[in-house]
Amino acid sequence: MKREMRRIRQLMSAEDNIKVLDRNTNGVLSLTGDEGYPYTVPLSYVYHEGKVYFHGHTSGYKIDAVKQSEKAAFCVVDADLVDGPAYSTTYRSVICYGRPRIVEAADEKLLALQVLGRKYNKGVADESLNAFIGKEFDIVTVIALDIDFMTGKEAIEFVRAKEGQEK
């Protein structure tokens, strides 16, 4: 399924893709929903060592869709600057493609909740974070998207700006 990007010059590096994932706080997960319809849901997330982690309740449409989806995509929009008079948008985004699953192993679930907690609570003390996780651990579900590949694309304006800095 991996296609070659038509505007290859605008393809972002793996390092830049990860920077986009690290600096943003929300994206949209796309799964297979009921009756084969796509189900997309905006989520908070964290990228960690080739996986994207999400959390949620122990039941509901999202959990059902994860269980029935063999593959999924997760998109993060980093820039979306509309220039109406030019009929143009200066953009940057990353899409992760992979296999979604419910995290069953307690050690991976704990790790995911810790990295999620640290991302959204900069500087929180480990004791405080772990106490909170301990109270919520049994009533939260962690979802992992094991990334097969990711692709990022940015507007030519960003590419040109980078090229100008390199000279």
Q: Does CATH number 2.30.110.10 belong to domain 8-105+140-158?
A: yes
Banded model confidence at residue 87, pLDDT cuts 50, 70, 90: confident
Where are the chain's structural domains?
Answer: 8-105+140-158
Structure confidence at residue 1 (pLDDT) = 61
Summarize pLDDT for 133-150 with one digit per residue, the tens: 999 999 999 999 999 999
**H helix intervals, 1-92:** 14-23, 61-68
Summarize pLDDT for 26-80 with one digit per residue, the tens: 999 999 999 999 999 999 999 999 999 999 999 999 999 999 999 999 999 999 9
Structure confidence at residue 163 (pLDDT) = 85
Rounded CA-CA distance 118/25 in Å is 12
Report percent pLDDT > 70 for the chain. 98
Q: Which residues fall within 8 angstroms of residue 66, CB to CB, at 6 or more apart?
A: 31, 72, 100, 101, 102, 143
Overall pTM surpassing 0.85 (yes/no): yes
